Amino acid sequence: MDDIHYLEPVQIHAIIDAIPSVSKHPERDMLLLEVMWQTGARVGEATTLLPEHVGMTSLVLKNLKQRKRVRKTDGKYVKEHDPNAIKEVEISEELCTKVKEYCKENNIQPGQWVFPSNHTKSKPIARWYVWNIMNKASEHAQVFVFGKKNPATGGVFKGAYPHLFRHSCACHLLDQTDNIMLVKEHLGHANISTTQGYAHIKQTKIKKSIRGIEW
């Protein structure tokens, strides 16, 4: 995981603060990015949030990577994606309150998407739109990460992208808590080996900091 890109909190907040300058739906889009930042959720997990899944200090999200053992007709078991899998993610009480107030102000009822599409409330906001708005906001905020490919266009993607917020959340949590298991549970990793890549990033940051010290 040496090639993982991440942003510092000040860069994340700069991107979120730039949303009103590039979005026709700034309140919704800023809230979505705040949810992605604090939960470390995959874009599809964050965009399908329902109002009834907002607690006092946590959100219940779809777990897009959770698998279950399924028995086939030949008697063998295989692991397949579980479409009903969920995970509960702790966030700040302040953000939970903000999501609830947003739902109330916009008359978002149980069973409706907290972050609906620009064109219809029957669908969640499109993934390509999240990529696009984050790219525009990062450009406006002058926050860039080079070398990432945009799957929608095949071109070189130089701005922020959804999974960058996930990586940044993990790195920030590890910096603040030094607890690899907490990061694993927060991100919903099935295997600790996936999470350990962030520990390697932290060690790299420490080494760079030490090398920069004047003795």
Using alpha carbons, list the distances in angstroms from residue 204 to 4, 96, 199, 210: 12, 34, 9, 10
Strand partners, 60: 88
**Count of alpha carbons within 13 angstroms of residue 167, beta-carbon side:** 19
| Whether 23 contacts 184, CB under 8 Å | no
Tens-level pLDDT at each residue, the chain (215 residues): 446 688 999 999 999 999 999 999 999 999 999 999 999 999 999 999 999 999 999 999 988 776 656 566 676 665 666 777 888 999 999 999 999 999 999 999 999 999 999 988 899 999 999 999 999 999 999 887 755 555 555 555 568 899 999 999 988 988 888 888 888 888 887 777 777 777 777 666 655 555 555 56
The H or E element containing residue 77 is strand 77-81
Which residue type does 76 have?
Answer: K
Per domain, the residue ranges of the chain are: 9-209
- Decide which of 1.10.3210.10, 3.40.190.10, 1.10.443.10, 2.40.50.140 is the CATH code for 9-209: 1.10.443.10
Cβ 152 vs Cβ 131: under 8 Å: yes
Q: State the pTM of this model.
A: 0.83
Helix (H, G, I), strand (E, B) or coil at 16: helix
Contact 113, 48 (CB under 8 A): yes
